[in-house]
Amino acid sequence: MPDWLEQVVGAFLVLLVLADVFLTVLYARAGTGIISTRLARATWAAFRVAAGALGPRGGEVLAFCGPAILVLLVAAWALALTLGAALVMHPLLGTAITAQSGGTPTDFVAAMYAGGSSMAIVGSSDFAPQTDWARILYLFNSLAGMSVVSLTLTYIMQVYAALQRRNALGLKLHLLTGETGDAAELVARLGPCGQFSAGYSDVAEVGSGMAEAKEAHHFYPVLFYFRFRQPFYSVSRSALMALDAVTLIRSALDDQRHGWLKESAAVEQLWRASLVLVTTLEETFPIDGACEQARPSAGEASDRWRRRYRSGVQRLRRAGIETTTDEEVGAEAYVSLRSRWDPLIARLAPAMAYRMDQIDPAGDHPSGEPAPRYRH
């Protein structure tokens, strides 16, 4: 191609990478990346295919997807920057850029070497700029390369810090339910003998954690692709337990005794933060039908939720918690509230290759009924 066109393509490629680094690391909002978003989705799709081929052991493969995306993203940025710099510098070899000893090679491999070296430290290679324009180019390449390296290292550290906080929240919720994954157990342990005053601080802390998790996934979308074998580390399990707990609090507890808790800021924050989290994930990330369950009809779902509500109320009563006197009205309220968030969880969980009986063991087959079959 003509020299000017080659340089234009190279400059465009460098600017594209810098824009992607800006949107991914500095702007940090879900769905704004140019290269990073597409690379993450393509990598996830490839891992899903590989996991499907391995059957029951596929979850172990998916556990490597998040780290693989980070490695591939760094490699893609580095390669694209090197290629862009090489395209800009290739026409200059032998004139504005020369070898410090011997003849100056002018092939594209030499341009790749010169471009990659200039992205690290000026003068680190056998090539040196001979004109003002070339010196400015070397300076720009050096500043751009070092900036991308610094921002990338910071980004990776922040991703793993956010991942640790997300996992700690999931583990905390799991332990608060007595490792059952049942939100009724969570509510019962927050207010033994009807005393929610001590457990209120836990509700506030979990609500704050859910708000942080929502913002973490908005700042670092790659977090979605970190999947662990244990279901209690998943966002869908954490969100479900939080939403189901609030739904039980608002529908099952006695208004006279526990009305203050129903209307409290902590419960409202827990509800809204969890709902916004799953809504954001569904709108931003690839929610597909790779792992499908024949979902029940509206009537079947309503009946199942009513059975789940009754079993939850029984657990609360055994804990000495005063519940609503009109159980039928409470069941209607539970069904109404659950219908607002259950479809979101039902779509989010399979997107991360979890079965619903893993994410919602209490609600998916309440009262000991057999778990529904899933197909992958």
What DSSP element (H or E) covers 273? helix 265-284
Q: Is residue 158 included in any domain, yes or no?
A: no
Q: What is the pLDDT of residue 164?
A: 96
Residue 25 sits in a domain whose CATH number is 1.10.287.70
Domain closes at, from 153, 185, 216: 153
Q: Is residue 165 included in any domain, yes or no?
A: no
Read off the pLDDT of residues 143-168 as tens digits, 9 standing for 90 and up. Answer: 999 999 999 999 999 999 999 999 99
Asked whether the beta carbons of 353 and 51 are under 8 A apart, the reply is yes
Angle between helices 235-252 and 200-219 (to 10 degrees): 140
Distance CA 374, CA 369 (A): 15
Q: What's the one-letter identity of residue 352?
A: M
What DSSP element (H or E) covers 374? strand 374-375
Claim to verify: residue 43 and residue 116 sit in the same structural domain: yes
Claim to verify: residue 138 and residue 277 sit in the same structural domain: no
State CA 121 to chain mean position distance.
35
Which range of residues forms the domain containing residue 74? 3-153
Q: What is the pLDDT of residue 375?
A: 38
Q: What is the pLDDT of residue 373?
A: 40
pTM for this entry: 0.86
- The DSSP bridge partners found for residue 293 are 374
Q: Which of 115, 149, 54 is nearest to 353 (CA)?
A: 54
Q: Is residue 168 included in any domain, yes or no?
A: no
Claim to verify: residue 305 and residue 192 sit in the same structural domain: yes
Residue 320 has pLDDT above 90, yes or no: yes
Residue 294 has pLDDT above 60, yes or no: no
Q: What is the pLDDT of residue 366?
A: 65
Residues in the chain: 376
Residue 248 has pLDDT above 90, yes or no: yes
Mean pLDDT of the chain: 88
Claim to verify: residue 345 and residue 202 sit in the same structural domain: yes
Q: What is the pLDDT of residue 127?
A: 86
Residue 284 has pLDDT above 90, yes or no: no
Across the chain, which distance is largest between two alpha carbons, in Å? Answer: 93
Domain closes at, from 153, 169, 192: 153
| Torsions phi, psi for 129 (to 5 deg) | -75, 145
Cβ count near 217 (within 10 Å)? 21
Q: What is the pLDDT of residue 324?
A: 93
Claim to verify: residue 21 and residue 84 sit in the same structural domain: yes
Read off the pLDDT of residues 51-90 as tens digits, 9 standing for 90 and up. Answer: 888 877 778 889 999 999 999 999 999 999 999 999 999 9
CA atoms within 13 A on the CB side of 85: 32
Count of the separate structural domains present in the chain: 2
Q: Which of 236, 218, 252 is nearest to 337 (CA)?
A: 252
Q: Is residue 137 included in any domain, yes or no?
A: yes
